[in-house]
Structure 1
Amino acid sequence: MFISKHKTGRDSMTASYVEIDRLKLSPLSLPSICPCQHDLSSKTQAFSQSDSKLKLILSSDGSRGLVGVPRDRRLSVYGNFRTLAAVARAKPNQIDEGEAKGLSLEVDESPNSEEKEVDVGMARDNNLASERHQGVSQLKERIVFGIGIGVCVAGVVLAGGWVFTVALAAAVFVGAREYFELVRSRGFAKGMTPPPRYVSRVCSVICALMPVLTLYFGQIDVSVTSAAFVVAMALLLQRGNPRFAQLSSAMFGLFYCGYLPCFWVKLRCGLAIPPLNSELGTSWPIFLGGREHWTVGLVATLISFSCIIVADTYAFLGGKTFGRTPLTNISPKKTWEGAIAGLGGCIATALILSKILSWPTSLLSAAAFGFLNFVGSLFGDLIESMIKRDAGVKDSGSLIPGHGGILDRVDSYLFTGALSYSFVKTFLSL
């Protein structure tokens, strides 16, 4: 339905004409709403409310039609109308805005409504095409940078030693900076007091040093305890009124961004033992370290990284294809169907790689290792989603085009390293 407006030269009143075609009307509530003449055989019907500032005139040419007025005052008329024209006349500022909004009518200001409909349709098609093009470009960007990151990470994992540790320390430093920026965002600041900026920077440096200290000393307990004590004392001795929220967010930052990544150093570099029954190690290239470089730590890290990548990929594809049941309110896009697909892909990857790499020797151990990697990756992803939700942001940063920040890429790895190292050290033969 369309409304056209014009000014009358005589009294400068606004007139609105409503044309409605092929609709049905009922006079059920007409007498109760307004004192009007409602002879349906007449060509024109006029009615108005005694307590209202609105006057409505209806005219017809012999076929059927329908008109509707405010929802709180239902009005419908039956009759043989083809075209029904309603004219609402009122003096300026006499019809309030709320009463005007009650009319369920589409306003068309242009003289040619058909041309405007065509323009709107063309604009909608252009917007859809633009969004589709933008989505394709973002997907290409994600794929290109994803492949580049994968190649770099694979080289770092194969190199091991100080190369692996320094690269991990750099990623930890950037991730810690992103975490403390999230803590200082408006979303968190509304419900808690963030730690001072100098404490956040000190915590980021400490987190970056933790992997290096782990490689050098072989364990991390003393350094973590010392770092936590220093940060706690700095918060307690600060000027102003120290808050527990500052201490809790800083301590969790040390644990989340510093302590947990250290287990990857312990897994990759600490388990320097040749795997049993591994035939691939005998032909390991010399430029990659030779046979001595083929260790349990390298095999376990390769399997764990592969399981995490496959779990994320299968969970995404399974959720897009079959996802119907939401997994949790923390991340509405995650579904049970996607989680099951990710779990299946993770276990299958662990079983296949265990056969290729001849470790672990037991299929049950390989399946359990894959299951543990899936649980760790899913849990880490949900933790980071909860932090971003409370911070009111979509991505933790913008360092990686198409992927967001470092935390957006490594959230699935944070808890997985600790679980994998504990499982290998405790249950699997070295």
Structure 2
Amino acid sequence: MAQSEPQQPRKQRGGRNLPAAIGVGLGLGAVIVASLFVVKVLFLVVVVAAASIGSWELTSRLAERKDVKVAQLPLLLGGVGMLTAGYWIGPQGAAAALALTALALMIWRMSQPPENYLRDITAGVFTAFYVPFLATFVALLLSAHDGPQRIVLFLLVTICSDTGAYAVGYKFGRNKLAPTISPGKTREGLAGGIGLSMLAGALLMQWIIDGGHWWQGLILGGCAAVIATLGDLVESMIKRDLGIKDMGTLLPGHGGIMDRLDSLLPTAPVVWLLLTAFVGS
């Protein structure tokens, strides 16, 4: 009888350590729930920390791969200013903080030689907008009288978009969505993500949002799923340009903080805008 070949360990999809990813995800979920429903403002601290680390990861990769120098201190202080101004003042405060951050980055860079001045400033302003300013809309969601419920809605429709896309794409995916950017994404997966996100949006809008209706949740969930997918593709484009797989290694099985924020950041302003239109701010 021929001797059977030893079975090779099955490679997990995406090269991720699935048990570690699940453990980290559950841990992050516990932190979020505890900060939201114990003392609401503690969640703002979580958002500030995540945005600060995400900005540091992005600028560090830019420096390593493209030799782009972004001033860390004004970017960090500006990000904290945007988030706190958004929570306590509103959109006008966040916009003013973004403008002051851009000005601070331009002035700070003047202490160095003029070579590549425009390149470094452009990267700094882009990072300020992409990470802390988009995260400001999470602070705006939190500042409402039912802020914790709005945050739960925002997080779950985004998570359901990712989960539905992964499950349906893994089982039925045949047609690539954007093969040159993210080969793993399929059109079938996108449809699954939109469907699950719309279902979650309809249920949560009806049950936990004051004055919300199920049909509003369908619209919100569908828009959130599309924007979350586009946000994921945007970060994939950035990583392909930089020639890296992950933005960092802080979260085992997930990569860096930015690798978890890629779909959340662009979804936040869409969810905030639709909730403001449907039930007020």
Please tell me whether residue 420 in structure 1 is matched to residue 271 in structure 2.
yes
Letter in 1 for 2:152: L
Please tell me whether residue 145 in structure 1 is matched to residue 24 in structure 2.
yes
CA distance in 2, matches of 1:362, 1:352: 9
1:362 is matched with 213
Given candidates 35, 45, 57, the residue that maps to 1:166 is 45
| Backbone CA RMSD of aligned residues | 2.6
2:175 is matched with 325
Deviation per residue, 1:316-375 (Å, 9 max, x gap): 111111111111121111111100000000001111223332645333212111112212
1:345 is matched with 196
Given candidates 251, 261, 269, the residue that maps to 2:135 is 261
CA distance in 1, matches of 2:173, 2:36: 34
Please tell me whether residue 302 in structure 1 is matched to residue 120 in structure 2.
no
Would the alpha carbon gap of residues 133 and 334 (structure 1) be closer, same or farther in structure 2, given more than 3 Å must change? closer
Verify the 8 A CA contact 1:210 1:224 in the aligned structure 2: yes
1:225 is matched with 99
Deviation per residue, 1:58-79 (Å, 9 max, x gap): xxxxxxxxxxxxxxxxxxxxxx
CA distance in 2, matches of 1:242, 1:383: 24
Verify the 8 A CA contact 2:78 2:100 in the aligned structure 1: no
1:395 is matched with 246
1:12 is matched with none
CA distance in 2, matches of 1:175, 1:387: 14
CA distance in 2, matches of 1:333, 1:178: 24
Deviation per residue, 1:221-258 (Å, 9 max, x gap): 22111111110122245224133221211110000111
1:411 is matched with 262
Deviation per residue, 1:76-122 (Å, 9 max, x gap): xxxxxxxxxxxxxxxxxxxxxxxxxxxxxxxxxxxxxxxxx98xx85
Would the alpha carbon gap of residues 314 and 165 (structure 1) be closer, same or farther in structure 2, given more than 3 Å must change? same
2:72 is matched with 200
Structure 1 counterpart SS, 2:230: helix
Count residues with an aligned counterpart.
277
CA distance in 1, matches of 2:52, 2:88: 18
CA distance in 2, matches of 1:310, 1:361: 19
Structure with higher RCO (Cα < 8 A, 6+ apart): 2
Structure 2 counterpart SS, 1:399: coil
Matches within 5 A, 1:23-422: 122=5, 125=6, 128-129=8-9, 131-132=10-11, 138-159=17-38, 161-186=40-65, 189=66, 194-196=68-70, 199-218=71-90, 219-269=93-143, 271-272=144-145, 295=146, 297-328=147-178, 329-357=180-208, 359-422=210-273
Structure number having the greater strand percentage: 1
Structure 2 counterpart SS, 1:327: strand
Would the alpha carbon gap of residues 379 and 132 (structure 1) be closer, same or farther in structure 2, given more than 3 Å must change? closer
CA distance in 2, matches of 1:135, 1:381: 14
CA distance in 1, matches of 2:230, 2:181: 11
Verify the 8 A CA contact 2:74 2:104 in the aligned structure 1: no
Structure 2 counterpart SS, 1:401: coil
Verify the 8 A CA contact 2:157 2:197 in the aligned structure 1: yes
Verify the 8 A CA contact 1:177 1:201 in the aligned structure 2: no
1:387 positional shift: 1.2
CA distance in 2, matches of 1:323, 1:251: 38
Bigger drift between 331-340 and 216-225 goes to 216-225
Verify the 8 A CA contact 1:173 1:205 in the aligned structure 2: no
CA distance in 2, matches of 1:406, 1:392: 18
1:5 is matched with none
Would the alpha carbon gap of residues 135 and 211 (structure 1) be closer, same or farther in structure 2, given more than 3 Å must change? closer
Verify the 8 A CA contact 1:299 1:359 in the aligned structure 2: no
CA distance in 2, matches of 1:388, 1:136: 16
Verify the 8 A CA contact 2:51 2:135 in the aligned structure 1: yes
Would the alpha carbon gap of residues 392 and 409 (structure 1) be closer, same or farther in structure 2, given more than 3 Å must change? same
1:132 positional shift: 5.0
Normalising by structure 1, report the TM-score: 0.60
Verify the 8 A CA contact 1:235 1:247 in the aligned structure 2: yes
1:429 positional shift: 4.7
